[in-house]
């Protein structure tokens, strides 16, 4: 069975601080990995994704994530957060060949203090 | 461009009732998926439809059903509502199905229908 763990439930940072949100998944096969973001009052939207190739992927708004296969991890990073990054962040995995369904983590709420 | 639209945005039902939620995908998208998001949890996969056929089903009871219409819009039906069905129901559309070449995996979500069961 596939599962995703996000260990940080709520993170509070000051502007300009660096961010790293943890994501670990459980699946033994080939995976596609995603980070989705939900800004207050808005719908879920894709932040970045990994399918294959360079394990360091860059997304929108200066976010990046690194796929470390040996650690089953796909942590999200940003060198300097802004107040506008306040949102809920969801890690998701699609680990079954031919399957469209995503398995989401429980989410991490990020609050950035100006 | 219109994104994924869902209706109604909010609704309140009582236990035992039935509910129908509707979704219109982004124009040109042929795949629609439904997810349930309980407060404090991530979205959980319910169904995926592509070209009007069910292509995937999550671990939900038979009280949950869905269908996709020729115009690719979709309905999610839940019968015999339970208190535990209270959640945000998300619809997502995508351009392709996994069997149609490279599946980008990018789902475009609507804002959801918030269902409260009393």
Q: Which domain holds residue A109?
A: 3-113
Return the pLDDT at B11: 96
- Is B83 strand, coil or helix? helix
Q: Which CATH architecture has domain B5-117?
A: Sandwich (2.60)
Average pLDDT value over all residues in chain B: 90
What average pLDDT does the segment A45-62 reach?
A: 92
Cβ contacts of A77 within 8 Å, gap of 6 or more: A18, A19, A20, A21, A63, A64, A65, A66
pLDDT computed for residue B1 by the predictor: 60
Cα angle A46, A51, A56 (rounded to 5 degrees) comes to: 80
Q: Is there a contact between A109 and A90 (Cβ–Cβ < 8 Å)?
A: no
Q: Rounded distance, CA A90 to CA A95, Å?
A: 16
C-alpha distances out from residue B98 to A94, A99, B8, Å: 11, 6, 29
For chain B, the domains span 5-117
Domain of A43: which CATH number? 2.60.40.10
User: Cβ contacts (< 8 Å) between B98 and chain A: which residues?
Assistant: 97-100
Q: Would you say residue B102 has pLDDT above 50?
A: no
- Structure tokens belonging to residue B98: 């996994």
Whether chain A has a CB inside 8 Å of the CB on B48: the answer is yes
pLDDT tens-digit readout, A56-73 = 999 999 999 999 999 999
CB atoms within 10 A of CB B100: 12
The structural domain count of chain A equals: 1
Q: Nearest-CA residue of chain B relative to A109?
A: B40
Residues of B in contact with A105 (CB under 8 A): 42
Rounded average pLDDT over A19-38? 90
Q: What is the pLDDT of residues B50-99, one digit of tens each?
A: 888 898 888 999 999 999 999 999 999 999 999 999 999 999 998 865 54
End-to-end CA distance of chain A: 41
Whole-number percent of chain B with pLDDT over 70: 91
CB-neighbour burial class of residue A14 (10 A; exposed 0-12, middle 13-18, buried 19+) = exposed
**Lowest mean pLDDT segment, chosen from A25-34, B15-24, B35-44, B80-89:** A25-34
Q: What is the pLDDT of residue B104?
A: 55
Mean pLDDT of B23-48: 92
């Amino acid at each position: 069975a596939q599962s995703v763990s996000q260990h940080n439930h709520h993170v509070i940072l000051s502007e300009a601080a660096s961010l790293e949100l943890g994501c670990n998944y459980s699946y033994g096969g080939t995976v596609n990995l995603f980070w989705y973001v939900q800004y207050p009052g808005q719908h879920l939207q894709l932040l970045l994704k990994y399918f294959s190739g360079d394990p360091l992927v860059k997304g929108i708004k200066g976010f990046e994530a690194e796929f470390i296969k040996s650690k089953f991890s796909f942590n999200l990073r940003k060198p300097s957060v802004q107040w506008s990054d306040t949102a809920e962040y969801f890690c998701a995995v699609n680990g079954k060949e031919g399957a469209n369904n995503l398995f989401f983590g429980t989410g991490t709420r990020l609050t950035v203090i100006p | 461009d219109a994104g994924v639209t869902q209706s109604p945005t909010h609704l309140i039902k009582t236990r035992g009732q039935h509910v129908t939620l509707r979704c219109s995908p982004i124009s040109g998208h042929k795949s629609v998926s439904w997810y349930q998001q309980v407060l404090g949890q991530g979205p959980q996969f319910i169904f995926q439809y592509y070209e009007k056929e069910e292509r995937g089903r999550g671990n939900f009871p038979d009280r949950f059903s869905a269908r996709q219409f020729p115009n690719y819009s979709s309905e999610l039906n839940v019968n015999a509502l339970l208190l535990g069905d209270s959640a945000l129901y998300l619809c997502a559309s995508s351009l392709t199905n996994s069997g149609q070449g490279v599946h980008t995996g990018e789902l475009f979500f609507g804002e959801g229908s918030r269902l409260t069961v009393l």
